[in-house]
Chain A
Amino acid sequence: GDSVTQMEGPVTLSEEAFLTINCTYTATGYPSLFWYVQYPGEGLQLLLKATKADDKGSNKGFEATYRKETTSFHLEKGSVQVSDSAVYFCALLSGGSYIPTFGRGTSLIVHP
C-alpha cells in the first residue's frame, strides 16, 4: 500500500538557517504530493503541492520538487524564521483515490 516516510524530528535551527525536511514515498502509479503545516493548537494547512514528476511546489519561501527517480519530495527553505516553528507533514494522494496518506510529521523549532 501507499506510505510516506519523513525524517524524525525535532529539527532545531537558528533563525535564518537553511531548512531541509526529507520525505520519501511508496505508491502505485503517479501520486500527487503535498506538504501540510500544523501550527500549535491548529489544524493542518496546505503549504504546497506538486502533481507530476519534476514539478516544483512553492509557497511562503518553501519549496519542494517532485523527484520520481528517487521517490522523494523534500521540503526546503533558504532562511527560516521563528514563525516557521510548527509540525510539517508530507502526504500523497494516489490517482483515483480520495484519501491522502500522511507521514508522521516532523517538528521544526526555530530559535531567535
Chain B
Amino acid sequence: DAGVTQSPTHLIKTRGQQVTLRCSPKSGHDTVSWYQQALGQGPQFIFQYYEEEERQRGNFPDRFSGHQFPNYSSELNVNALLLGDSALYLCASSLSASGYNEQFFGPGTRLTVL
C-alpha cells in the first residue's frame, strides 16, 4: 500500500514565478492538508481539502491556492513567488470519518526561490 506521495522532490524557482506542487493521498484517504515547513520550524497549516472543497484555511495569503480532484489527489499553487516562500511543503492525508483525524505525511517538496 503506497503511502502519501508528492512531486516533485525538489524545485528551484525565481521570484515572481508560479509553482504547482502535487500530492497523492494514502489509499482510502479522502482528505488532504498542506503545510509549509520553514527551516528549523514546525509545519504551518496552509489549507485542507475535502470533497474537492477547501474546508479550512490557515493564515496564508491568497497567492496560495489549491485544488482537489475526484480521485482525492491535490495540487498546491503558489503565485508571485517570494524569497520567503522557500520551504519544505508537506502534504498530509487522512480519512475524514476516522475519530482521530490522524494525518499521514508525505516526504515533502523542497522549494527554493532565488
Contact = CB atoms under 8 A, between A and B. Distances in A.
A51 B100 contact: yes
A50 B43 CA distance: 20
Given A98-B56, A99-B56, A99-B58, A46 B43 contact: no
A98 B48 contact: yes
A105 B102 CA distance: 19
A43 B90 contact: yes
A19 interface: no
Interface residues of A, number: 21
Most buried by A among B56, B101, B106: B101
B55 interface: yes
Interface of A: 4, 32, 36, 41-46, 49, 51, 89, 91, 93, 98-100, 102-105
Interface residues of B, number: 26
Contacts of A102: 42-44
A88 to B, nearest CB: 11
Given A44-B90, A51-B100, A104 B106 contact: no
B66 interface: no
B42 A99 contact: no
Contacts of A45: 105
A99 B41 contact: no
Contact of A105 (B41, B44, B45, B58): B41
Contact of A44 (B31, B40, B101, B105): B105
A109 to B, nearest CB: 14
A42 B42 contact: no
Contacts of A51: 100
